[in-house]
Amino acid sequence: MTSTLACSWVVWFALLVGLISSVSTELLDDEQLMQVNGTHFDYIILGGGTAGLVVASRLSEDPNITVAVIEAGNFEKNNPNVTNTTGLGLAKNTRIDWQYESVPQVFGGNQSLIWSAGKGLGGSSLINGMTYIRPSKSQIDLWPSLGLELDWNRYFTASKKGEHFRPPASNISVLGAAYQNSSHGYAGPLDTCINPHIIGGDIHDIFNSTFKKLGIPPRSDFCGGDLRGFGIQDVTVDQIADVREDAARAYYYPFMNRKNLVVMVNTTATRILWSLSPQNRPNGNANGNAVASAAEVVSHQNGRVSTIYADREIVLSAGAIRSPAILEHSGVGNPAVLSRQSIDVKIALPSVGENFQDQTVITILASTVQESPPGFPPFVAHASLHDLFGTETTSVYNTTLAKLPQYADAIISAQHNGVAGSNANASIVQQHLLKTQLDLLFESKMPASEIAPIALGKAIGCVFWPLQPFSRGSVHINSTDRTVQPTIDAQFFRIDFDGQLSVATARFVRKFLTTPPLSAIVNASSLVPGFATVPEDATDAQWLDWIKTSSQYQPNYHHLGTCAMLPRDKGGVVDNDFRVYGTANVRVVDLSVVPLQVAGHSTALLYGIAEWATQKMRSQHT
């Protein structure tokens, strides 16, 4: 796109260079905001989180391209709650956590839940558990059957490009740490490793032997696309500096002196502005697609509103909760949703904000007769549908398959005219998506649930979550105030297969805790839930009642899907180029584009997707 600067390029560049040090490193004051207001950049990235910083860093490698990043949070490079490599969850519920609250989950015990998401330069990579596990190869290789271009080979290549894996030292190799050389990249900006502070003693061997008795094999590496098994996870940690390797530390701080890269912190992106025709409708390009001209941003210091212009593209990278909200405030979404807030419809795209998916985290606890050594708990196991249901697996598959039309109709009925608003065959579309998930669970080695046994002090907590929820929720705006958090409804447990899989995993986990050699160090009378609460022969209904009402289940913060990359008539919001349907120059690069939940951990998935997206963007502007 040709620049439309009112001032000469030389004058503009001088202004930009003068702003770099102040805008990139501190809170914007009135004078700086006045300078930024009306400034042009080639690319504006709305959200300085995990994906946004990958895109910004890679695009700005070209010194002839200017990039601005708008981030609502601040710099957190020296925040001890972020940098600590042994404490988990230290930054949760602090000022750098958005703490989004859902509506009561009608099908999940009527609880309102909190979704954590990082608010700071680096996004959720600042506050997550640092786990780095890539998704299942079989799952990503099915994406092309849904209409996606991205497959495992493309993802894996892009993901390894960004990774700098450091093999474990001998002192932790003897504790069970292992890896496969071919599963990693070694020259990228993102440091990964096996946490050097992993827990010592014989706990790894005890867990490993117990899982073996239950049919779960050992696995030396979870980053090569095969996940079933028990082993030690990788983490995003700078092993040399012994600090968390968040996205800012990997993709921004080493490059923050680039003269063509500007980061504006403590500044919220509120909406996209469009190049308008005389009829006050978005101007289109040669294909009739709407052209975004600018982003509206608000300073947290004084509420000043500024407009920043994009001469090429605007990239939404605000996450699966905020990205659809920004689109809706910009007039892109379901007309029924927008009309309630009296927002003029620029692009009717009913699937915006739909397809919200996350996993439910449940914990079973017990005290132990011996104290575990101090250290980071790195253990993880992935169990397949066959591991969990055994001889009943085929029956479970057939019963679930027969219910897919019912499940699809339930999903559609919960939507704000989502897919149904863009496709008369919405039920068939949803059934196809659900069958894709079901077949994958039944026919492949892809795990159905993840189990993380955590030994701390004189206790063991087995945290687990089914990996492929069938329930779908939504995220939508509820106010014309663009700073108000959107309404989140995950619809947890709306589809009964989710409850069935949760129950099967809970049974498996309690069996794990009562199977030798682990049972020798577990106080069986201390189990939560104990056998008095949920008997050995408890029905599915008894287990599910405990899960919904007493387990204090939580979301896994792996939320995704609300701007799905799918064909438009199948509920898609973005195409294979990450471009929002109906627009010429607006892309979404974050977890909201992922159409179905994945095994593995979302951070590892996202880094690879962001690298892939940036490759496509650069190739299309050469």
- Return the active site residues: 558, 601
The CA distance from 553 to 474, in Å, is: 19
Extract the tokens encoding 574: 């973005």
Q: Which residues pair with 465 in a beta bridge?
A: 450
Amino acid at the residue 108:
G
Q: Are 495 and 411 in contact (CB under 8 A)?
A: yes
Instruction: Identify each DSSP E strand in 482-615 by its residue range.
Output: 487-489, 554-555, 586-588
Quote the crossing angle between the two packed helices 496-513 and 540-549, to the nearest 10°. Answer: 90
The CA distance from 183 to 225, in Å, is: 8
**Helix or strand or coil: residue 221?**
coil
Task: Write phi, then psi, for 18 (nearest 5 degrees).
Answer: -65, -25
Q: Give exposure, 422-440, as e/b (b: 16+ Cβ within 10 Å).
A: bbeebbebbbebbebbbeb
**DSSP string for residues in 103-124:** PPBTTTTTB--EE--B-STTGG
Beta-carbon contacts of residue 565 (< 8 Å; ≥ 6 apart): 148, 150, 572, 573, 574, 575, 576, 578, 593, 594, 595
Q: What is the DSSP letter of 584?
A: S
Beta-carbon contacts of residue 481 (< 8 Å; ≥ 6 apart): none
Beta-carbon contacts of residue 418 (< 8 Å; ≥ 6 apart): 334, 350, 351, 353, 354, 355, 412, 426, 474, 571
Q: Which residues pair with 364 in a beta bridge?
A: 462
Listed residue (448, 455, 438) closest to 508, CA to CA: 448
